[in-house]
Structure 1
Amino acid sequence: MATAVSLSIPLHLSSPRRRLVSHASRAVPSRLSSRKGARTSPALASVTAPKVLDESVIEKRGIKDYIERSREMIRPDGGPPRWFSPLECGARGKDPPLLLYLPGIDGTGLGLIRHHERLGKIFDVWCLHVPVMDRTSFEGLVEYVERTIKSEKSYIQNKPIYLVGESIGACLALAVAIRNPDVDLILILANPATSFPMSQLQSVSNFLGIVPEPFHVTIPYFLSLITGNSMGIASSNTETHTFLHQAFQGIPENLQNTFSDLSFLLDILPKESLIWKLDLLKSASLFVNSRLHVVEAQTLILASGKDQLFPSHKEAERISKLLPNSRIRHFNENSHTIFLEDEVDLVTTVKGAGYYRRSRQVDFVSDYLLPTPDEFKKATEQYRWIDFAASPVILSTLQDGKIVKGFAGIPSEGPAVFVGYHMLLGLELGPMVTKLITEKNIHLRGIAHPFLFNRASEQLMPDSSSFDSYRIMGAVPVSATNFYKLLSTKSFVLLYPGGAREALHRKGEEYKLFWPEKSEVIRMASRFEAKIIPFGVVGEDDMFDVLLDYDDLVKVPFYDDLNKKINQEAVRLRADYAEEVGNQSLYPPIVLPKIPGRFYYLFGKPIETKGRREELRDRDNAQQLYLHVKSEVENCLDYLKKKREEDPYRNLLSRLLYQTTHGFAAEVPTFKL
């Protein structure tokens, strides 16, 4: 089977673009082919990347595909290390960032095979292939990657270069960053081999020389290089078939049919090559560990919880403490070969961590990529319990003032600004955002608190990926610049003037607005003729009773240190406001769940700013409109609080009885309009 890749060998050239090399005869087109995705000159290239990923079905690939492709790649050819670009990585966007994949100990460069298609839509992907019999030193590999990066800098001015390193490839990426602090690099490190001195492979390397070939493949943990599974094998057994039988016992059931294919391990890492690569691992970890403290590059560390080769979970925490510009994503159920496992999607991980950018600084508007159906499903799963428990009622207001069920009163085209009341803990967000997408095809971009984007905030959370779904769904840090950019792209923007003070209100403050005295939205909205949609949401008084609020917690002796960590300078908003809204200290409220009531949403009549730009430049006129918007939000809340008393299905039990009779997919009725 022919391997669907194009190869370029830039090792002996000043630029990898100057020579065309193929896989079979080393004569097919390289990255400069006319296929879709080839680079244009910097002068002609657009800075706009595709905003929507192709939603067509992407072919599922895994271990079997990795093995089949690798058989072609590992044929001895006497060649040096080289770059190749899989054909399925054909970039769809104009001038995307360059991504260099640095493989693990296998060296094939096919470790991202499951991710090729999705990566190729937003990156220019090059994969490093190190031939089986190649004996390039670690320093030589570092220099090779350096030459490529320096050559490419002239083509990618003001763009980052991504280095995705796996195992020893992660060490290679770190070494390149150490030696090139002036280059804008983004490192994505999967189970880095910096922990080699503490790994099982350290002990393996001490006695590997006395194990006869081919029995070295049966050494415990060796097959983990490919399968990620621990191989508990009795080293005293000397019969070949017994060795192999025991070695493959740990392979997942779905791989047992490929037993014959896995014999290629003997070809991909013969004993001589394995000894060499273990020595490479030792050199790599020594070099990097002594210099980690100087790494300044933006770094994302992916750590498997069931890695049988390295203590990756602990190592990620250690490295992160040394790298001030790093973040961690833990994958507790995954093993060493994280990129070959079904549960991991590299593109989604990069997007969720906020690590996708196409210039020196991330642009939360132009760099944003809409969620795929799978990402949307996963991001909204956490809110399904609210849909089930609260049976949301959606109401909107037509231009003639009539209130109707559904979103008929919401304009279909932007720009528009949704301005409303923030329930406790923002519980209203999930159903509202989800239903607007599924029923109205409106993607609401939220103006969010900087706490959701801060590295220190992640470290306070039980799961560092807690806020990833917000970024995937399009939340942006609150700033006038981001608000301006969203309106300029005719987006639908969600804004809560009450902010954290409203979402984390104290006892007895349900449905009280904490808005600034002066407008923060009107003049900007009028500049782009955006419609303003006031809305209110009420539930069973937010579904929780607040047992301890901020005023209670600050009296607890041990809370002072946590309060300082949560409310550090980097996440303070409106700290210079003298009014109540300036008191926006974040805190984890201690709450007691109530029996779930019902959620009611009312979107008021859209307020036009079209044709009023000159009028609303006047601060007094803008202030009057701002107070009108606030009044409309309060009217929405008052209407819903009154009308919910007439709802025969306000109680959870009555709704459950209705759904038992009519089916749980049936819409539960509500009060008469």
Structure 2
Amino acid sequence: MAATVLGSVFGISPVSSPSTERVKRTKSYLRGRTQAIKSVTRTNHGCVRRVHKNKDHDGEGAKVAKLLVESPYSKVEAARPDLGKRLSDFMVEARDLVGDDGGPPRWFSPLECSTQAPGSPLLLFIPGIDGTGLGLIRHHKKLGEIFDVWCLHIPVRDRTPAKDLVNLIERTVKSENHRFPNRPIYLVGDSIGACLALDVAARNRNIDLSLILANPATHVNNLMSQPLSGMLNVLPDGVPTLLEEIFGFTQGDPLTAMLDALTNEFSVSGGILRDIFAVSANLPTLSRIFPKETLLWKLELLKSAVASANSHVHAVRAETLILLSGRDQWLLKVEDIDRLAVTLPKCIVRKMKDNGQFLFFEDGVDLVTIIKCTCFYRRGKSHDHLSDYIMPTTFELKQQIDDHKLLIDATSPVMLSTLANGKVVRSLEGLPSEGPVLYVGYHMLLGFELPPMVSQILKERNIHLRGLAHPMLFTNNQDALVDTQMFDKYKIMGGVPVSNFNIYKLLRLKSHVLLYPGGVREALHRKGEEYKLFWPEQPEFVRVASKFGAKIVPFGVVGEDDIFDIVLDANDQKNIPILKDLMEEATKQAGNLREGDESELGNQEAYFPGLLPKIPGRFYYYFGKPIETAGREQELKDREKAQELYLQVKSEVEECIAYLKMKRESDPYRNLLPRMLYQASHGFSSEIPTFDL
């Protein structure tokens, strides 16, 4: 890994200083790695140096870049994971970084993190027990696109106590806050680093901090630490040399090369075998990161850091995201995390039940994606669902498609749109390319129509729908009746809490906005209410659409009655005491956006319907001809004119639904078996025909 030393934070004296020669060798390594990157310049900022990427103003380069962004999702099926590095990469780069490591703790910024956008918040990574500062190596590239990333490196021979490490971090926080007072500062701490981050936050309550704590160390298990300390005390010095001499583990020898090859062999399938080979091939590196005297010191550092954090946690006022692994925990208790969640005023606990102690090295853990899913990213004082939204990567979109692959494959969606001349085509060609556009339509039960529709529009037309959704989907309530992680897909794909203000802002930004006037009442309808619209009487969206000249696209969807029957709706559940209590509690937690509305729309009861699956039929989507509002702002200020257009939109949505219900009767491939036979003979990637248009 190429890295740039940001300079030592002076004033912190290590307990035992290494020799000057060792410090020179370590800094020489870092300078050499930096100089190997020709396109990087260094700019001094007070006590630190940052890395900035030179901007390419070449005309051809600009053309290529433009081509790349025109359709980034067209080949989403072939997308590869965003995180390419693994534990073996950490071992290799830690080996070069550690060496005869000496000197005081210092900050560095990986060159992979040099592409951040202007105004990006600062992220300070505080390492765990390894102290290398490379704990986020798998995440550097993605983090570097949205953060200004600095990592703290604590040399192997450094003996700076916990309180002085806190002082070091605090001084950096205060310095950067003074330089950029409106920029939030993220402290990402792993294990011991999480304790140090809590201490810094407790001492700086007036600075805008956000904490991300991965498996924070909350207690020291004496049953493990005391025997470990005793064992280390009787071990001879020079264990790294013994490993190399007795077992023949030296970097570059045939045995290590074989283990490296096995690591690469298992890099695709992943899992524990790959990690075992990675560790085995780098035993000398591990022994240099954790020599006997350093391990003894780390145990003492751990005890003091945990004690200090536990005594100061009540003073923390920063918003906090705790990432909690579900297994292999020996430095924390779940009870302590529950206590933290209650003590910290703005705390989200994200449980990763299938992951272990070293969270940031594990497959399936993407820190940037987690930040997106928890709405934890912000450039200002609070998270803004519009300006702070980060588009999904192609791999994130692929994950969403894969998560709903069974639904998409089973229903073989048919999507129709209407061209400007009124012709109906089987494609999305009729959708307007330029915003602002307001898509208004019917909401299937539980929103089953959303995954195929949103992903296909993004793939085929590179149009990103910003769906207006119930605010309950954006809460991170730890006491919620459902796992809030099931709502991640809405946040990844750009969902926005529904409100008049958010509709206004989205249309002002010329966005493509998805609106369901029927909302929760439509998505949680009862038996016999499929395809019935529950719209408000007032023309709520017409005037704001006309203000910005937005096109209104009415659309209908059918097919829910071909995949399941409702056997237990809200009316049935009211007659079952335990389900009635659950429904009342869920409704209370969700809140009623239409409270006070005396129409049926105000009857917004949150419940999960009992469904009886069917052999799946087919989903059909029909987007009507766009309705122009440009130039009609003054006209539509008249209440009657606005109501007339509103009823026109509603009528066209009903006509779209009626058209699809009629035409699907003549679709020879409406049922699953004919579709399976067609794909068996024509290929599983072939488009299945439908009714004649």
> Which 10-residue stretch deviates more, 268-277 or 551-560?
551-560
Residue of structure 2 aligned with 1:370, choices 387, 391, 394: 391
Q: 1:585 aligned to 2:605?
A: yes
- What does 1:212-223 correspond to in 2, within 5 Å? 212-213=235-236
Aligned to 1:232: none
**Cα deviation, residue 618, structure 1:** 2.0
Residue of structure 2 aligned with 1:520, choices 536, 540, 565: 540
**C-alpha separation between the residues in 1 aligned to 2:28 and 2:387?**
40
Aligned to 2:28: 24
Q: 1:207 aligned to 2:206?
A: no
**Cα deviation, residue 640, structure 1:** 0.9
Aligned to 1:17: none
Distance change (3 Å), C-alpha of 1:102 and 1:639: same
Letter in 2 for 1:424: L
Q: 1:67 aligned to 2:83?
A: no
Aligned to 1:106: 130
SS of 2:284's equivalent in the other structure is: helix
> Which 10-residue stretch deviates more, 577-586 or 162-171?
577-586
**C-alpha separation between the residues in 2 aligned to 1:488 and 1:458?**
36
**Cα deviation, residue 542, structure 1:** 5.9
Q: 1:486 aligned to 2:506?
A: yes
**Cα deviation, residue 167, structure 1:** 0.6
Aligned to 1:86: 110
**C-alpha separation between the residues in 2 aligned to 1:325 and 1:264?**
39
Letter in 2 for 1:566: A
- What does 1:517-596 correspond to in 2, within 5 Å? 517-541=537-561, 543-568=563-588, 571-596=591-616
Q: Is the 8 A contact 1:6 1:87 kept in 2?
A: no
Letter in 1 for 2:583: N
> Which 10-residue stretch deviates more, 294-303 or 71-80?
71-80
Distance change (3 Å), C-alpha of 1:24 and 1:317: same
Residue of structure 2 aligned with 1:640, choices 642, 660, 677: 660
**Cα deviation, residue 173, structure 1:** 1.1
**C-alpha separation between the residues in 2 aligned to 1:542 and 1:96?**
48
**Cα deviation, residue 414, structure 1:** 1.1
**C-alpha separation between the residues in 1 aligned to 2:562 and 2:414?**
15
Instruction: State the Cα deviation string for residues 536-592 of structure 1 (Å, max 9, x = none).
Output: 000051622112212222332223553344223664311122211111121111211
Q: Is the 8 A contact 1:535 1:602 kept in 2?
A: yes
**Cα deviation, residue 166, structure 1:** 0.3
Q: Is the 8 A contact 2:7 2:107 kept in 1?
A: yes
Residue of structure 1 aligned with 2:145, choices 98, 116, 121: 121
Q: Is the 8 A contact 1:548 1:590 kept in 2?
A: yes
Aligned to 1:230: none
Aligned to 2:358: 337
SS of 2:322's equivalent in the other structure is: strand
Aligned to 2:287: 266
Aligned to 1:12: 11
SS of 2:538's equivalent in the other structure is: coil
Letter in 2 for 1:360: K
Gaps of 5+ in 2: 13-23, 35-41, 56-68, 74-78, 264-270
Aligned to 2:186: 162
> Which 10-residue stretch deviates more, 207-216 or 648-657?
207-216
Q: Is the 8 A contact 1:37 1:94 kept in 2?
A: no
Count of aligned positions: 629
TM-score (ref. length: structure 1):
0.86
**C-alpha separation between the residues in 2 aligned to 1:86 and 1:155?**
22
Q: 1:403 aligned to 2:419?
A: no
- What does 1:130-145 correspond to in 2, within 5 Å? 130-145=154-169
Aligned to 2:62: none
**C-alpha separation between the residues in 1 aligned to 2:236 and 2:54?**
44
Q: 1:598 aligned to 2:618?
A: yes
TM-score (ref. length: structure 2):
0.84
**Cα deviation, residue 430, structure 1:** 0.8
Letter in 1 for 2:476: R
Aligned to 2:477: 456
Aligned to 1:224: none
Instruction: State the Cα deviation string for residues 225-273 of structure 1 (Å, max 9, x = none).
Output: xxxxxxxxxxxxxx9769999xx99973465266353212222122222
**C-alpha separation between the residues in 2 aligned to 1:65 and 1:26?**
17
Q: Is the 8 A contact 1:396 1:603 kept in 2?
A: yes
Residue of structure 1 aligned with 2:303, choices 275, 282, 289: 282
**C-alpha separation between the residues in 2 aligned to 1:542 and 1:321?**
46
Distance change (3 Å), C-alpha of 1:260 and 1:541: closer
Letter in 2 for 1:448: A
> Which 10-residue stretch deviates more, 96-105 or 475-484?
475-484
Aligned to 1:355: 376
Letter in 2 for 1:667: E
Q: Is the 8 A contact 1:420 1:536 kept in 2?
A: yes
Distance change (3 Å), C-alpha of 1:285 and 1:598: same
Residue of structure 2 aligned with 1:431, choices 452, 474, 492: 452
Aligned to 1:476: 496
**C-alpha separation between the residues in 2 aligned to 1:92 and 1:215?**
43
Q: Is the 8 A contact 1:313 1:330 kept in 2?
A: no
**Cα deviation, residue 100, structure 1:** 0.3
Q: Is the 8 A contact 1:99 1:162 kept in 2?
A: yes
**C-alpha separation between the residues in 2 aligned to 1:80 and 1:453?**
43
**Cα deviation, residue 111, structure 1:** 0.7
RMSD: 3.2
SS of 2:220's equivalent in the other structure is: helix
> What's the % identity of the aligned pairs?
52
**Cα deviation, residue 306, structure 1:** 3.1
**C-alpha separation between the residues in 2 aligned to 1:563 and 1:553?**
8
**C-alpha separation between the residues in 2 aligned to 1:35 and 1:257?**
30
SS of 1:111's equivalent in the other structure is: coil
**C-alpha separation between the residues in 2 aligned to 1:5 and 1:342?**
27
Aligned to 2:76: none
**C-alpha separation between the residues in 1 aligned to 2:44 and 2:615?**
61
Gaps of 5+ in 1: 14-20, 40-51, 218-238
**Cα deviation, residue 309, structure 1:** 3.7
Aligned to 1:505: 525
Distance change (3 Å), C-alpha of 1:610 and 1:6: same
Distance change (3 Å), C-alpha of 1:438 and 1:253: closer
**Cα deviation, residue 377, structure 1:** 0.6
Q: 1:391 aligned to 2:395?
A: no
SS of 2:104's equivalent in the other structure is: coil
**Cα deviation, residue 380, structure 1:** 2.2
Instruction: State the Cα deviation string for residues 88-121 of structure 1 (Å, max 9, x = none).
Output: 2113311210000000011111111111111111
Q: Is the 8 A contact 1:394 1:406 kept in 2?
A: yes
Aligned to 1:650: 670
**C-alpha separation between the residues in 1 aligned to 2:356 and 2:685?**
38
Q: 1:422 aligned to 2:421?
A: no
**C-alpha separation between the residues in 1 aligned to 2:588 and 2:53?**
44
